[in-house]
Amino acid sequence: MALLDHTSAVIYMRDLDGRYLLVNGEFERLFDVRRDDLVGLTDHDLFPQEVADNFRANDLAAIAHGRPVELEETAPSNTGTRTYVTVKFPLMDDDGEPYAICGISTDITARKKAEQEVIRLNEELEERVRQRTAELEASTRELDAFAYSVSHDLRAPLRSLAGYSEVIREDYADMLDETGRNYLHRIEVNTGRMSQMIDDLLNLSRTTRAALRRRQVDISSLAGEVVAELRESHPDRNVQVSVADGLTAEGDPHLIRLVLHNLLSNAWKFTARRDPAVIDVVSGDAGVLVVRDNGDGFDMRYAGKLFDPFQRLHAASDFEGSGIGLAIVQRIVQRHGGRIWATSDVGQGATFHFTLNSLGGTAGIEEQT
Amino acid sequence: MNSGTILLVEDNPDDVMFTLRAFKRNKIFNEIVVARDGEVASDLLFPANESEALTPALVLLDVNLPKVDGLQILERIRSHPRTAGLPVVVLTTSNEERDIVQSYRLGANSFVRKPVMFDEFVNATKVLGVYWLLVNEPAPAPRIESHQQ
């Protein structure tokens, strides 16, 4: 008995009718009873009905089982509700018949509380993430709605600027010298540029607002289509394009097509001074897709600006374009949960790597500022 | 039908100027009536005294109008027997799908995004004018019972 009284486990014994035969010191301490007072009493005398019913049921289960059973039990004590891992086993007489139930319960209240706290914190965290995501989506939507309405509102005065400049040039031609007419022409060129930028901004915001559907997309075949279109609109160019077979990805077909169109158009454009111009579409490590060309390339020191809207790393006179294509590509890639990065050497061509999901493609993280 | 009147529903005075200039440039000399907002357009098309009503050969309708929304004018035109068959070309700065869908659903014959560059504007006007005034066969005018004066 001394052994039993020195353990922190709660130990007790009851007969087949549920009457207490033995309890240890921990039992006495926990439930504020004395063993002598327990003689002949059952759990129903000590605990609320529900708790006692539960204990009794577990006892009977152990008897029926004939072998030790392990289960979790809760019991009200003088320090509040406590949780236990209990092993209950029947005690057998010489004939192999059960005559008593013995139980050894280890207090896991603290552990249980810690578990529940972790669950609660996780739920709280998930709720906060849900809220933040909703807020972010709402603010992105607001920004895009703003960009949309402002863009449309801007086109009207722009039209007036372009129009009146033309009117002056036509109606007052004899009052203007060559320089004057040229200045007006510059006004028109710039309003044209601004008009293009507004349309580009609208396209960019459209890629965020469009619903994203995930499908299996045949990248090889889509790239082939884009290349065919480029060949048709630039029949004078001699460009060698090779697209690897069997490239696939999961994502929105329309938006992925936009990505390929932008990347391949860029490659097409920046290889204009090469003969032969070479463009490859292949897969890299871990499902990364790669578009590579042997064109003019860009200075890696400015790689961080590559995907900013309207950032151009080349003189306007060298290569046309307003610089929105890569911003659109990055936005689409990010909407799919993926990443895009580029490497290049000036004069040695450029390589664009991208993924359309959050797995795969750990290379290149250090390369992008 | 190239002698008909063109009704231009447009609130932006610069756009009015450019449109008139573009029609003249394209040698389209039809009378052009300008309504500065939806209310004026409504009064022209559906006056209290119906005998004074304007029945144009072509309506150019800017949908971004103050007061009465341009598409409401379109709805009204389509629901009135006298005007239901009029060609209506919707002009707008927007080419958002939802705006295009709405316009066609309410019965627009055509949806044109106003170009920023003036030469494109002139060209669009020419194309529209030539098509709707010269090439297109208009709906026959509905028979209106004459009232005893």
Asked whether the beta carbons of residue A192 and residue B116 sit closer than 8 angstroms, the reply is yes
Instruction: For residue B6, give both structure tokens.
Output: 């063109």
Residue A213 φ/ψ, nearest 5 degrees: -105, 140
Residue B2, pLDDT score: 54
Q: Which residue of B has its CA nearest to A169?
A: B118
Residue A302 φ/ψ, nearest 5 degrees: -105, 15
Query: Residue B145 pLDDT more than 60?
Result: no
> How many Cα atoms within 13 Å fall on the side-chain side of residue B106?
20
Q: What is the mean pLDDT of residues A15-37?
A: 90
Residue A360, pLDDT score: 55
Q: Which residue of B has its CA nearest to A209?
A: B96
Cβ neighbours for A220, distance < 8 A, ≥ 6 positions apart: A243, A244, A245, A246, A247, A248, A281
Residue A366, pLDDT score: 36
Instruction: For residue A201, give both structure tokens.
Output: 């901004």
Could you give the dihedral angle defined by the CA atoms of residues B19, B24, B28 and B33, in that order, rounded to the nearest 10 degrees?
Answer: 50
pLDDT in tens, B32-59: 999 998 889 999 999 999 899 999 999 9
How would residue A322 be classed by pLDDT, with cut points 50, 70 and 90?
low
Cross-chain CB nearest to A163 (options B18, B94, B96):
B18
ipTM of this predicted structure: 0.79
pLDDT in tens, A159-188: 899 999 989 998 998 999 999 999 999 999
| Single-letter residue type at A120 | R
**Separation between Cα atoms, residue A248 and residue A217, nearest integer Å:** 6
User: Of B147, B140, B122, B131, nearest to B50 (Cα)?
Assistant: B147
Residue A229, pLDDT score: 94
Cβ neighbours for A75, distance < 8 A, ≥ 6 positions apart: A31, A47, A51, A55, A81, A82, A84
Using an 8 Å CB-CB cutoff, list chain A residues near B117. Answer: 162, 188, 191-192, 195
How would residue A369 be classed by pLDDT, with cut points 50, 70 and 90?
very low
A49-58, A308-317, A318-327, B91-100: range with lowest mean pLDDT: A308-317
Query: Residue A361 pLDDT more than 60?
Result: no
Using an 8 Å CB-CB cutoff, list chain A residues near B63. Answer: none
Q: Are A291 and A351 contacting, i.e. CB atoms less than 8 angstroms apart? A: yes
Describe the strand order of the beta sheet including B88-92 as a list of residue ranges.
B32-35, B6-9, B58-62, B88-92, B110-113
Query: Residue A362 pLDDT more than 70?
Result: no
Residue A363, pLDDT score: 44
Query: Residue B144 pLDDT more than 60?
Result: no
Any CB–CB contact under 8 A between A205 and chain B? no
Q: What is the mean pLDDT of residues A128-147?
A: 81
Q: Kindly report the nearest CA distance between residue B26 and chain A, in angstroms.
A: 15
pLDDT in tens, B6-20: 999 999 999 999 999
Please give the C-alpha separations between residue A326 and each of A174, A306, A331, in angstroms, as whole numbers: 45, 7, 8
Residue B64, pLDDT score: 77
Q: Which residue of A has its CA nearest to B92?
A: A152
Query: Residue B142 pLDDT more than 80?
Result: no
The enclosing H or E element of A226 equals helix A219-233
Residue A317, pLDDT score: 61
Using an 8 Å CB-CB cutoff, list chain A residues near B116. Answer: 155, 158-159, 162, 191-192, 195
Using an 8 Å CB-CB cutoff, list chain A residues near B93. Answer: 152-153, 155-156
Using an 8 Å CB-CB cutoff, list chain B residues near A168. Answer: none
Q: Across all residues in chain B, what is the average pLDDT?
A: 86
Query: Residue B115 pLDDT more than 70?
Result: yes
pLDDT in tens, A50-63: 989 988 998 888 88
The enclosing H or E element of A239 equals strand A239-243
Residue A364, pLDDT score: 40
Residue B95, pLDDT score: 72
